[in-house]
Chains A and B, each alone.
Chain A
């Protein structure tokens, strides 16, 4: 079955520390994966998608098909990165399968 798993409910780091938010997926086929971010009481917005292979706000994510992972990384966390992060899988036809979400808290 198609599934996205984010094992960490909450991740707390200090400003300037590296961050890695984990995402594992289960999908029969060639996956299209995304990271969405939701700042406090705002709408979800796309952070990055694996096919574009770009870095947004210093974040990167690499698709590892062998480990079925799409972890989100940033070398130096900033306080403004504090938000809820969702990993999502495109299940075709405009349908996204979301992980449970990881709340990132960056402390000063």
Chain B
């Protein structure tokens, strides 16, 4: 099993550009989440999903969209990138009541 995979590993965007961060898991987990990691702030939840076709907002959803058309994939879209979105993004998946498995992260810089 590959576990949770994320692409790309690194990305540089200009302000106003859009892009999609990819996340996939092969463990048949129902739950998937996106977090951003910023120094001194820990990880904050952006969006999450409890199953295909079901998504909801987390703590910091503004500027991001998600969809969950399959159990395996949970892409995160930045609609119009801003410097405040410079961060490391982690995708995670889990089954109910079990631990969350994290992807390797995407380091995004917005100039």
Contact = CB atoms under 8 A, between A and B. Distances in A.
B90 A43 contact: yes
A94 B105 contact: no
Contacts of B31: 93-94
Contacts of A86: 42-43
B103 A43 contact: yes
A12 interface: no
Interface string A76-108: 000000000010100001111111110000000
Consensus secondary structure, chain B interface: strand
Contact of B100 (A96, A97, A99): A96
B53 interface: no
Contacts of A34: 99
Interface in B14-55: 30-33, 35, 40-45, 48-50
B42 A43 contact: no
A98 B32 CA distance: 16
Contact of B42 (A49, A93, A95, A98): A98
Interface of B: 4, 30-33, 35, 40-45, 48-50, 58, 90, 92, 94, 96, 99-100, 102-105
